[in-house]
Structure 1
Amino acid sequence: MSSYPPSGPPQTTTLRQRLADLRGPAVPPRPLDARALAALAANPGCGRRALLDGAGVDKTALASALGTPAAFGQSQFAIVRGNSFEAKVKGDGGTELLRLVYERLGAGSEPPGGTARVPDLTAAGPDGRAGRTALALREATAAARAEGAWTFLDHPMLVLEVAGTPAYLEPDAIVVHPDGRWTVVEIKSFPMIDGSADAAKVGAAARQAAVYVLALEKTAARLEGAAVGHLALLVCPKDFSNLPTAAVLDVRKQRAVTRRQLDRLTRVEELAAGLPEGLSFDPARSAEELAEAVAAVSASYAPDCLAACELAFHCRQRAREADAVTVLGRSVRGELGMLATVGAALAAADGIRGPAAGEAADPTAEALHRAARLRAEALETAAAHPYQRPEAPECPC
């Protein structure tokens, strides 16, 4: 088996030890998945999440220890149903899955028939599995060029560097076409009714697929002749049955956004270097110690975090205590400019906060004050001239 080192320089022993100290002496690192990476890319300015995810901290356990647990994850019934549906789609050597890929994305290729290759991807540890996946992709690309063969990779392992640390990702499947293209396949248990599914869930699946495509492109860059398709395949139950159907996802936009946001992330070693010695996020510590440790890392809270981050309720509570305008959303925060608190915004609207001597007037404060004045005038006019509903005309009949 050929070696498959993570993209980018390896972590030094000092950094590994530092990240282990941040997690706690007996706490194993929690691996990143595509869902977490998509959420991280959606809020690249949050150093708190970048550090905790890069260090492998279990944010669910940390939130519970802080007293602000978040109810994330699927029910046991949904997990069992999802596993059952995935097994059905991948059964018989991926025959049904390859049929869907051929119908939606197999233009110009021969149908898979019963000749598809299904390589064994088992290996020891994530590094071993990533190396085995890279070797299987290389062999599948060569077989496609030589024989025009289809290849189905079940739960391969990919590597993507995030904030200077390698993240191991496991897509549901990757299919290698006879022309050498690589396609990411996402299998979800939510239904596709009359050819369409819930837009929010499809969007989340597209963002996850984009993360897999980014990682797959890193692998393809080291293999001559390999090509990663920008079209991913989403497989879901059809209507209210357990029969699979599929839709094509164009992930070019999500891939570009995710790549740009991940590039903006501060490297983990830079975030860890600014922390005091002895700081730890070990859930075994007291809530007071953990709150102090979390507060030592800058955060960028927004209401969107409530649907994506386990620490969102803790960050929201702290933002409310600080009277921060971030609790109102990113769009409001951007429009308020230098007004960082709700109190300052209200004072500007009331005309209390004016420019100091020799200081230029704040256009945001002036706009707020004008808007508040116009609103008050409108309310006074409405009170002086209450709206009266006109009487209905008599029926001519």
Structure 2
Amino acid sequence: MPPPRKRETALRHRLAELRGPDVPAKALDARALAALAANPGCERRAILDGAGVNKTTLASALGAPSAFGQSQFALTRGNAFEARVKSDGGAELLRLVHEKLDRGAEPPAGAQVPDLTAIGPEGRTARTALALREATAAGAWALFDHPMLALDVAGSPAFLEPDAVVVHPDGSWTVVEIKSFPMLDGSADPAKVGAAARQAAVYVLALEEVAARLDPAPRVRHHVLLVCPKDFSNLPAASAVDIRKQRAVTARQLTRLTRLEDIADALPEGTCFSPDLPAADLTAAVESVPAAYAPECLSACELAFHCRDRSRTAGAVTSLGRSVRAELGGLTTVEDVLAAARGEAGDPDDPAVAALRRAAELRAEALGTAGSDSSGALACR
């Protein structure tokens, strides 16, 4: 077996070939990584994200553009709010960290703001790790503005950039998430808070890898600080969010991902996802990688419309949702389900088959059509 460094170099070269000649890599951010961890069975997303393929461009080239993602207005508003929160050396941000997470510590006056400038993501990652070690040893408040962290994802490093990391006087570390959605009367939209918590959990996992290399290892706090605009103003409000559950789920899901080199080795020779390829060739390349579509993908993946069309064409029950798919056991297509409900196929001792046949009987009885076609059985679920 080749040494780890050689394997990593070979994998990087292979992923560049999959991305296409002269096609720049799109960085895998925490938002995308959290979405990938939520659907670990999707090899298609894993290899596309691992190769740095721009899925927005790819979806357009496939003829199935997606509106997924933030608008330019939202990005501009978010950047302006983040700049305000971090102004004056991050004084207001540190005040919120002290108030919400560490009231017993001394007030954060004159905190350090280390310079994290370096060449390339690897250089920035190393610089961040060194600065974290120095700040922890100093035993004082420190604010890290957009540090660079690395996390192994399916055998390939992903470089992540949280909004901020704060070092406390006791040497512990806190992840800070700054979002542009409002916090009304002290609370924000639960769905958006949940998405932010899953994203922060990715940063916490990456930060824990940095901490594990230090002796003694600093404590990475599992309460992150979520900072949002207060009501409808541009003033910051903050809340401590416990992400222990999200961290545990994300860590478990990441371990279930198929290694990128295994996915790449299973692809046909010459596979390439360059958007400059003819539509037929590009479609064949994408379809050569197994996908695990579910309706939840519509809010998390740029290729969702393409995968949904293919899933519906194949009659896959996954297009009805993961909960339905889980209940149907070995019945993987809508045609299989209808045949089982009509009594034409399936093992009568299978609980899913028995439930479908009972549902068909009840439907026929309710409609007064006992013995008639039960093709509508699935609709009565």
Q: Which of the five TM-score ranges fits, normalised by the shorter chain?
A: over 0.9
SS in 2 for 1:12: helix
Aligned AA for 1:88?
Answer: R
Partner of residue 330 from structure 2, selected from 338, 341, 362: 338
Q: In structure 2, what is the Cα distance between the partners aligned to 1:17 and 1:187?
A: 35
CA distance in 1, matches of 2:8, 2:222: 35
Q: Confirm or deny that 1:375 pairs with 2:367.
A: no
Superposed CA offset, 1:211-256 (max 9, x none) = 0000000000011231100110000000111110100110100000
SS at match of 2:157: strand
* Counterpart among 205, 210, 213 of residue 201 in structure 2: 210
Tell me the equivalent position of 2:377.
none
Query: Does 2:173 correspond to 1:182?
Result: yes
Conserved 8 A contact 2:8-2:156: no
In structure 2, C-alpha distance between the alignment counterparts of 1:87 and 1:58, rounded to whole Å: 27
Note if 1:20 corresponds to 2:12.
no
Kindly provide the CA deviation profile for residues 291-320 of structure 1, in whole angstroms up to 9, marking residues without a partner as x: 111111111110000100111111100001
Structure 2 distance, partners of 1:137, 1:38, is 24
Determine which of 109, 112, 121 is the counterpart of 1:126.
Answer: 121
1:316 aligns with 2:308: yes
| Letter matched to residue 16 of structure 1 | R
- The answer as to whether partners of 1:175 and 1:182 remain within 8 angstroms in 2 is yes
TM-score by structure 1 length?
0.90
Distance 2:185 2:9 in 1: 54
Amino acid at match of 1:135: L
The reply on whether 1:304 has 2:296 as its aligned counterpart is yes
Q: What is residue 152 of structure 2 aligned with on the other side?
A: 161
| TM-score, reference length from structure 2 | 0.93
SS of structure 1 residue aligned to 2:86 = helix
Overall identity of the aligned pairs, in %: 70
Contact 1:32 1:53 survives alignment (8 Å)? yes
CA distance in 2, matches of 1:354, 1:195: 53
Q: For residue 376 of structure 2, what is the aligned residue in structure 1?
A: none
Displacement, 1:107? 2.8
Any idea what SS the aligned residue of 2:158 has? strand
Aligned pairs for 1:264-303 within 5 A: 264-303=256-295
Q: Distance in 2 between matches of 1:120 and 1:11?
A: 33
Secondary structure of 2:151's partner? strand
Moved more, 91-100 or 363-372: 363-372
- Give the drift of 1:72: 2.2
Shift of residue 21, structure 1, vs aligned partner: 1.0
Output aligned runs, 1:172-251, within 5 Å. 172-225=163-216, 226-251=218-243
1:91 equivalent to 2:87? Answer yes
Measured in 2, the distance between the counterparts of 1:64 and 1:138 equals 44
Label 1:175 to 1:269 Cα distance change in 2 as closer, same or farther (>3 A).
same
- Number of the residue aligned with 1:393: none
Structure 1: tracts of 5 or more residues without a match: 1-7, 382-397
Distance 1:207 1:187 in 2: 14
Displaced runs of 4+ in structure 1, greater than 4 A? 8-11
Alignment: residue pair count: 365
> RMSD of the TM alignment (CA)?
1.4
Where 1:28 maps in the other structure, the secondary structure is coil
Give the 3-state SS of the residue equivalent to 2:170 in structure 1: coil
Is this contact kept in 1: 2:68–2:298, CA < 8 A?
A: no
TM-superposed deviation, 1:31: 1.0
- C-alpha distance in 2 between matches for 1:232 and 1:214: 12
Q: Is the 8 A contact 2:294 2:322 kept in 1?
A: yes
Shift of 1:74: 2.0
- Decide which structure has the larger Cα Rg and report it: 1
Deviations 1:150-189 (A, max 9, x none): 0000000000000000000000000000011100000001
* Alpha-carbon distance, 1:10 to partner: 6.6
Residue 107 of structure 2 corresponds to 111
